[in-house]
Amino acid sequence: MSNPEIAKNIRTGKFNTNYHELGQGEPVMFIHGSGPGVSAYANWRGSMPVLAEKFRVIAPDMVGFGYTDRPEGITYNMDVWVQQIIDLMDALGIEKTNLVGNSFGGGLAIALTIKYPQRFNKVVLMGAVGVYFDLTYGLDKAWGYNPSIENMKELLDIFAYDRSIVTDDLAKLRYEASIRPGFHESFSSMFPAPRQNGIDMMTSCEQDIKKIDKDVLIIHGREDKVIPVQNSIRLNQLILKSQLHIFGQCGHWTQIEHKDRFNNLLLNFFSEK
């Protein structure tokens, strides 16, 4: 049986990137979060086919995650991830794209927009890092995850507001994803204790965030225990052309817990002229 998480492969700088590509038209780049065993497919499987009805959807596994190469001796940091997206765009002949960033991917989307403003159109930030906050219990558990089904179940309980989606099958699936060869080794090297350093690494200067002159849609779950909703409120205050949508009865998984509404928000936002 083929693995849906493994898609296309392309050279980006010094390594190959595994990425999904669906649909045609104006490009939309999706950047996943940083949970254990995460991949672009796991993060965006409910959104990619819907957005692909109107747009060219691209969703890479960021280096250190999923099925992108894990180069020996690499140091995982913002410069590496920013460069990977730019290299991917160049390799695919994409001059300019819309951007969707989830959590870790939101912090990356902010950094990309600041450094390469000419390469991006509209931006969606979902449960994003990128501004300063104190390490939460939820994020500490996620970044400090040690592989076991029990730990994964506890983590999924933290991520989701709706406990009905945290099934034993899902926990088993995500646990198995987290122990694939190389997955945990690279993951545990990214955000070592003290984990506040990982947050600081992904934080952009507020003065630079203020200069973002893009239409930005900011989305957050009100009950998010991983990334505080105050992050998105702060981003909304800083970014002049931003709008903020907060879902009640929602944790860190907006795109899963409110899938249809989330997808419609993106479709409407990217379709506006």
Q: What is the pLDDT of residue 273?
A: 85
Query: Does 224 qualify as catalytic in the annotation?
Result: yes
Q: Which domains are seen in the chain, by residue range?
A: 8-271 (3.40.50.1820)
Average of pLDDT values for 193-199?
97
Specify the pTM: 0.98
Catalytic residue from among 69, 224, 242, 245: 224
Q: What is the pLDDT of residues 83-103, one digit of tens each?
A: 999 999 999 999 999 999 999
Residue with tokens 């939460």: 136
pLDDT confidence of 129, banded at 50, 70, 90? very high
How much of the chain, in percent, has pLDDT values that exceed 70? Answer: 100
Element (H, E) at 58: strand 56-60
Chain segment 237-259, per-residue pLDDT in tens: 999 999 999 999 999 999 999 99
What is the pLDDT at residue 98? 98
Mean pLDDT of 193-213: 97
What tokens appear for 198 in the block?
């990982």
Q: Which residues contact 227 (CB under 8 A, 6 or more apart)?
A: 103, 127, 128, 129, 133, 136, 139, 220, 252
Of 32, 245, 252, 258, the active-site residue reads 252
Give me the catalytic one of 34, 39, 47, 103. Answer: 103
- Rounded distance between C-alpha atoms, residue 182 and residue 64, angstroms: 9
Q: Is 103 a catalytic residue?
A: yes
Per-residue pLDDT averaged across 184-208, rounded? 96
Kindly state the average pLDDT of the residues 21-39: 97
* Residue percentage of the chain with pLDDT more than 90: 97
Task: Please say if 34 is a catalytic residue.
Answer: no
